[in-house]
Amino acid sequence: MFLEIVKYILIYLFIINFIGFFIMWWDKRQAKYGNWRTPEKTLFMVTFLGGGFGTIAGMYKFRHKTKKLRFTIGFPTILIGEICLVVYLIVTKGDQIKHIIGM
């Protein structure tokens, strides 16, 4: 059961990071042609939902939003915060988590 849960979490993280990378490419493309843009709150929401690696990679790969401090500081801050939260929960609540997932 534990490995199945981990598998689904990894699949989710792969998908949300792919979406984050794609949305940064799409928004850069739209900006280039003067078309409708992805709202900034959407970019932050994708990052907050676990897509931090994808949005950060897309930001630098496509040189999009790299001059905006809100993004260059905000995206990594969200990602680091999420990593710290996961580590904290594993360290302090690891036994409870194992019990809940049936390990």
pLDDT bracket for residue 95 (50, 70, 90): confident
Q: What is the pLDDT of residues 19-69, one digit of tens each?
A: 999 999 999 999 999 999 999 999 999 999 999 999 999 999 999 999 999
Q: Write down the pLDDT at residue 103.
A: 67
**What is residue 47's DSSP assignment?**
I
Full DSSP string of 82-94: HHHHHHHHHHHHH
Residue with tokens 């850069």: 28
Domain that holds residue 66: 2-100
Q: Write down the pLDDT at residue 93.
A: 82
Query: Identity (one letter) of the amino acid at 49?
Result: L
Q: Per the structure block, which two tokens stand in for 70?
A: 């809100």
3-state helix, strand, coil in the chain (%, to 5): 85, 0, 15
What global pTM score does this model have?
A: 0.88
Q: Per the structure block, which two tokens stand in for 99?
A: 């019990």
* Count of structural domains, the chain: 1
Residue 90, pLDDT above cutoff 90: no
